[in-house]
Amino acid sequence: MTDADAFRAQFPVLEKKSYLNAGTEGPLPRQAADAVRQRIAAEVEGGRCGVDYMTSVKELAAELRQQDHERKLRQLAGKRKVIEAQSAALHAEAETEEAEVKFAIAQETNQVKASRQNAEAMANLRGGSTRSKGKTKMKP
């Protein structure tokens, strides 16, 4: 049995019908129906008043609030992981961009040096001027 089959088995109506909506009027899972039956039976037998009833209602409400808090904490932990992953990706992107800029600077610096060296070599070959410490000198 696949996970999908196990999930569908929780909804008895799906043996006869297909639900194509995702609204609030969707199928009721067997577990929810069983819980409602148990609660109704307890209220039919024990009544809906008195200390025991009110205590059980308050305990159920506290349990639901606790479950909701735990669910919210799991969601926040998931969000934190997403934020950390996004931050790491942005950091890596910034590092890549910085490396690209530094590489471009190094390339341009090397091109300038090579151009200067080529110009000096050409001048030497022609017997012309050379550059020395930024000044142009004529050869005798």
Kindly list the domain boundaries of the chain, sorted by start residue: 29-110
pTM as predicted:
0.51
- The arithmetic mean of pLDDT across residues 24-47, rounded, is 89
Residue type for position 3: D
Residue 103 parent element (H or E):
helix 50-126
pLDDT at 17: 83
Name the residue with higher pLDDT: 23 or 80. Answer: 80
Residue 31 CB contacts under 8 Å (≥ 6 apart), including other chains: 10
Residue 93 scores a pLDDT above 90: yes
- Cα separation of 127 and 77, whole Å? 74
Lowest mean pLDDT of 4-18, 19-33, 63-77, name the range: 19-33
The Cβ-side half-sphere exposure at 113, using a 13 Å CA radius, reads: 6
Average pLDDT value over all residues in the chain: 88
pLDDT for position 61: 96
